[in-house]
A and B are shown apart, each in its own frame.
Chain A
Amino acid sequence: MTQPVSILLCALGGEGGGVLANWLIDVARLADCPAQATSIPGVAQRTGATTYYLEIYPIQRTELAGRMPVLGLNPLPGRLDALVSSELLETARQIANGLASNDRTCVISSSSRTLTTAEKMVMGDGRQDDGALMGVIAENSLRHHVLDMARICQETGTLVSAVMLGAIAASGLLPFARAHYESVLAGKSASAKASLRGFEMAFDHVSKQKEQAHYLEKIWSPSFSQSEPLSSEQDNNSNFNAQAQVPKQVLAEFPADMRKVLALAYNRVAQYQGQAYAQLLIERLRKIKQQETDGASNAASCPVTAESTRWLALWMAYDDIIQVAFLKSRAHRWQRVSEEVKLQEGELLKIYDHFKPGVPELAAMLPVSWAQALLKWDKQRIANGKSPWSMPIKLARHSVWGMLSLRFLSLLRVFRPYGHRYITEQALIEEWLSGIGRAFSVSPLLALEVARCGQLIKGYGSTNERGKENLLHILHTVCVPNSAKSVAEQISAVAQIRKAALQDEAGQQLDQALMLHGAPARPIKAQPILWMKNPRLKSNP
């Protein structure tokens, strides 16, 4: 018995999944085959995941002699002929629903991701691992074509529906000729031409199956992680290769496998506050290395030193008004924005930057006593029920005045070392470094975990404050000397608490992790509360 060919299309709301279903129905009609499509979208469910289901009977009506096949409205798990999807996670979702099987289903999927809100809102990196999703496709398909549909859309200026149609056509899934497909796309409008271009490119990609092989190669190659060497792609990014170069003899002091990260770190710090500051970085690293190697000069690898290098450089080059003003004023940045907005010849670009410096940002640049007075004043304001003082600014980067302001601010760099924040940060850095030193006396693995805690320090304002408080709390309560715990327990405690600290803003998971490992939760901070008046309660006490 000839069964209908069943196709499940997965798309995100607004991507044109309905258009694609209509095109396929039209193609079937041209070829005179019975076809039926249905879908589950609401009228306005945009950007959510949605599916379209088609059944096409691969025998022409003329041969059916008036008999009409009964076509289904629901996909049959494991008996699906094709799963076509514009997004990698959605492909995996339908496979997890059991729809595709390795004895029947042809999976055509984009390799591109549209991240879900749940993945995006995580404080660190909450993105799904593409490799695992690809693995799911490979395991659960008779054959599969994976191509970067988002890129094809961009290159050809069309929507993903045309690209998906091209891939379906090339897959040979349906008994229709290429001309059938192309004729439903044909038209004189610019968008019809773009659709055809997208169709063609996808058709070629699938025909050659090159993309698939290429993608698999990329997926199965080892991915970049913290302890591994930096990838060449990132290395070549001119934006991060400042001119200052680390002296060769300094490089030679450190193991070969960390020289790349050392060079980057050196350049970052040198750009930030000059050669002398970069020397301070090297001094600090030398100290860690000495602790790690116990004086031996030619150790093959120093994992703790290497790990510390990255975080130490980032911490030393902490973000402040001066640094932000510098980054915003760079020529490179103007160029990047021009590309991002696809600036055309003859168009004029205006860039407005949103700043909102508050008292802490200003105090950072002042001498300690002034800064403390200013911070005290702001604290008093908050205690009186007012909001913290701050100044929203929309600065026109393209204007002469805007550029002069940014340049003036970045020139304040020379005063930075006399500022309140610089002094505070150096003290905290030293505290962290001595924490690493103390940990060495317990175990080099514990030292490595403490070094990794440098990851907690990032960003501006409250994010940065929170990171520092968490780091200090870990240093003071978890890595205490003479701990009753075994070394292995201490190591895993630090690792788990560090991960928990990166989970949520309120620090609930961090507190839980702390208590789980026998450490006290973070102290509760005083916070002003705005009372809601409720006269009903007065009249009825």
Chain B
Amino acid sequence: MEVSFHEEIEALRAGDGEIFQGEGILAITKGLLQSGVAYVGGYQGAPVSHLLDVMVQAKPYMDELGVHVEACANEASAAAMLGASIHYPIRGAVTWKSIVGTNVAADALSNLSSPGVTGGVLIVVGEDYGEGASVIQERTHAYALKSGMCLLDPRPELGQMVNMVEHGFRLSEASNMPVMMELRIRTCHVKGQFVCKDNVAPRLSKKNLLQEPASFNYMRLAHPPVTFAQEKRKVEHRLPAARDYIVQHQLNEHFQGTTHADLGLVVQGGLYNTLIRALQQFDLSDAFGVSRLSILVLNVTYPLVPAELTNFCKGKTAVLLLEEGQPEYIEQELALMLRRLDLQTPVHGKDMLPSGGEYTAEVMADGLLKFLDKHRPSAIPESSRNWLQSNAQRRKQVQAMLGAPIPARPPSMCVGCPERPVFSALKLAQETVGPVHVSGDIGCHALATFEPFSVGHSILGYGMSLASRAGVSPLMKRRVLSVMGDGGFWHNGLLTGVQSALFNGDDAVLLIFKNGYTSATGTQDIINTPSEADKDASPDKRQSLAHTSKVIEATLEGLGVKWLRTVHTYEVAHMQATLTEAFTTDFQGLKVIVAEGECQLERQRRIKPWLAQLKASGQRALRVKYGVDEDVCNGDHACIRLSGCPTLTLKDNPDPLKVDPVATVIDGCVGCGLCGENAHAATLCPSFYRAEIVQNPKLTERLFGRLQQAITRFLQPA
């Protein structure tokens, strides 16, 4: 795993009255332990990876408490795990990235929500929405509505977030509904502090086992005919029970306004801080959140409590609802509530705020301006109006000064990434076989969609690349390539892609990146991760160990894949030839290329300490760096268009006669060898060299080296 959580694990042990300092998502983790959670599962993905990662690393402490932690194969298996709470009074929590993870989990969630739960269930979802998001922009809210799950959206203050975790379990038990907690990206990463409580060891746990299975109870199955009764229970019993709990424990917060109490703002809890900062720009709130307008903070966004909302709106001059994303479910429901009671308070929302996109402070301020303009123009200081106008002007001015738009800087594959050479090879292979339709997938290789490769026609979901070709390849003259990571292969691709292609006898080409980890989410281990024993046993720590596990190959062979090639990714010419063969062979059926090369991040974690130790102890060590001869480089930059490595960049041409910048390899090069491979595979200009620096050379090597140097020095021109 990429991050070590040594300190955070210590923080998880904090007891009553101690101050926890750290990241939002880790505070949530602490909240789970304070709530006596008995089992935790999930699937990694930003922004919630840390929750599961820290728990996996904290295994000894979890064992001490008796908490079971499972790194699930995908979100569906995580959601299914919650089935334990249907019969048994045990609390369970799972986590994943949403919306994508919730989509994968949806079937199990429906089947969990229908019978309902006995033990409290909390689903912590990272709402990957707005700036920094990496998935399609949709709301998790829809799932809460359709399946009948409570949805928490706590105010982004660590104490309140932990508080809502504890309430979440109780709310789940009081209503028999699973409870979801949505955390936005910035909330997961927020750094703050809160006062801890003692952790609670679960009553039923790995240390205190369930003695007998529950007795058979058809009502607990999601199976007809009881599903009809269950639907009724959702509406008639569970929702009212949830509303009662919410009201009784005042989970939603009502802040009475000071000078403009008749103007109301209803806001999702997660947006509260941003709203206060926006109000401050109108002098309508002080630094501590004391607002001149009345605010209703919805820490629970589903179910809404009609009485709470209608009471808030009653007697108000106007109300503005700040609800991020679309469709505006809360706004629709609020309008309906008021209509039913024939309350005429004007309600604004998406008419003054944008339908789509993140609600930043500026977006909210724009909406507030419209709201106040209509209902209390006297409350708008001139400076606020000027501020908003000047922002727009300034952007225009800067754009004019710069002329062209600033080039984007998307993330790219790491220095030494074993996936980069495959895309170099693919680019070269297409020079002979012509352009190929490439169905892409989720993972580090998705970064090949950016320059310089710009590869990939579609991305239909994690592990879906082979399945998403099924409609294309039978209708296309040339063969279609599907790329998939080993993470995606295990998450979904094996069944939806490989099994389906084999069963249908499809003529398809699949390339699997076997780097040994789910790297894009933080290099979590998977079933084909090199074992610790293999890592210890390898004498040269630089070596890729991806080949030590043959699980993928064995699985494919077992399923009946007949055309299977394993190629080391750094052999660009070999990869190019293998791709060309796959595209042109007479063989009909599924062709799989396993592109083998261990994740560079994980390799560097071994290499750096190893090299330092070799150097320090006086043993022979080899350092490798590639370089470009500045006087040989032709300034054409074809090498960059074929690699995109961050350490292969440009510098001014030192030759006063030439004008174009030359390529250069900067510090940080890990000597992966791609530059040399590309120079050969693609016939690049002869400016690349490989420099090997031998530290602590042995005596014979040193003497021989000196002799060679003496002779070459004599031979070389100035």
Contacts and interface: CB of A to CB of B under 8 A. Distances in A.
Interface of A: 1-4, 12-14, 21-22, 25, 29, 36-50, 53, 57, 67-79, 89-90, 92-93, 95-98, 101, 114-125, 127-128, 132-133, 135-136, 139-140, 154, 226, 230-231, 234-235, 237, 239-240, 261, 264-265, 268, 310, 313-314, 319, 324, 326-334, 336-337, 340-341, 343-344, 346-356, 358, 387, 390, 392, 394, 397-400, 402-404, 407, 410, 455, 458-464, 505, 529-537
Interface string B383-412: 000010011101101110111001111111
A318 B402 CA distance: 37
Contacts of B717: 326, 329-331, 410
Given A96-B398, A463-B634, A349 B679 contact: no
Contact of A348 (B640, B675, B676, B694): B694
Interface stretch (B71-79, B269-277, B336-344, B551-559): B269-277
B584 A533 contact: yes
Contacts of B192: 36
Interface string B15-57: 0000001000000000000000000000010110100000000
B222 interface: no
Contacts of B701: 348
Interface string B650-691: 100011111111000001000000011001100111101111
A89 B657 contact: no
Interface centre among A67, A330, A348 (most CB of B within 10 A): A348
B588 to A, nearest CB: 6
B411 A400 contact: no
B186 interface: yes
A74 B360 contact: yes
Contact of B281 (A76, A347, A392): A76
Nearest to A242: B718
Given A43-B520, A123-B636, 5 more contacts: A12-B409, A44-B444, A350-B691, A354-B689, A463-B685
Contacts of B627: 337, 340-341
A127 B640 CA distance: 14
Interface centre among A69, A71, A313 (most CB of B within 10 A): A71
Given A2-B287, A43-B2, A331-B713, A96 B406 contact: yes
A135 B397 CA distance: 12
A459 B637 CA distance: 10
B583 interface: yes
B214 interface: no
Ordered nearest first, which 6 A-B pairs have the shortest CB separation?
A40-B132, A459-B634, A48-B411, A72-B277, A42-B46, A45-B411
A71 B277 CA distance: 7
Nearest to A355: B686
Interface in B609-650: 623, 625, 627, 629-632, 634-638, 640-641, 644, 646, 648-650
10 contacts: A29-B21, A43-B49, A70-B288, A72-B361, A74-B186, A96-B395, A96-B402, A132-B403, A261-B656, A354-B676
B686 A356 contact: yes
Contacts of A74: 186, 274, 277, 360-362
Interface in B123-182: 131-132, 134, 156-157
Given A73-B156, A340-B627, A400-B708, A116 B398 contact: no
Contacts of B641: 121, 505
Contacts of B198: none
B477 A532 contact: yes
Contact of A349 (B588, B631, B691): B691
B247 interface: no
A348 B620 CA distance: 11
Contact of B586 (A119, A351, A535): A535
B395 A314 contact: no
Contacts of A239: 631, 654
Given A74-B274, A310-B657, A351-B690, A115 B411 contact: no
B533 interface: no
B694 A347 contact: yes
A112 B272 CA distance: 38
B411 A351 contact: no
Contacts of A79: 281, 387
Contact of B478 (A14, A268, A344, A532): A532
B640 A73 contact: no
Contact of B477 (A124, A261, A534): A534
Contacts of A154: 667
B521 interface: yes
Nearest to B694: A348
Nearest to A37: B191
